[in-house]
Amino acid sequence: MSAYDDFAKEKQDIDDLLARGYTVAGMLETLDGAKVKFDEAKPGSGSVELLLLTADARKYVTTLVFAGLEKAQ
């Protein structure tokens, strides 16, 4: 699989979670990749953790977080 295919798969996973109403709740960078925690909009309804291995997917989710912060201001 090419590097772009790896990124496209991870981007699709992120977009699917966001479309289902999840929001980014936290990120933890490790040597294995970035662990991104997504929480559902309803309190107490659950969370999902996604391990992002590609640098482009980590940049993509970080851009989404910063874009959300700018909208909030």
In this predicted structure, the answer to whether residue 45 has a pLDDT above a threshold of 80 is: no
The model's pTM is 0.89
Q: What is the pLDDT of residue 14?
A: 97
Average pLDDT over residues 38-50: 86
Residue 42 one-letter amino acid: K
pLDDT digits (tens, 9 = 90+) for 53-64: 999 999 999 999
Residue 33 one-letter amino acid: G
- Give me the residue spans of the domains in the chain: 3-72
Q: What is the pLDDT of residue 37?
A: 96
Token pair 């874009």: residue: 67
Task: Give me the long-range contacts of 42-50 (CB less than 8 A, separation at least 24).
Answer: 48/17, 48/22, 50/10, 50/13, 50/14, 50/17
Average pLDDT over residues 10-21: 95
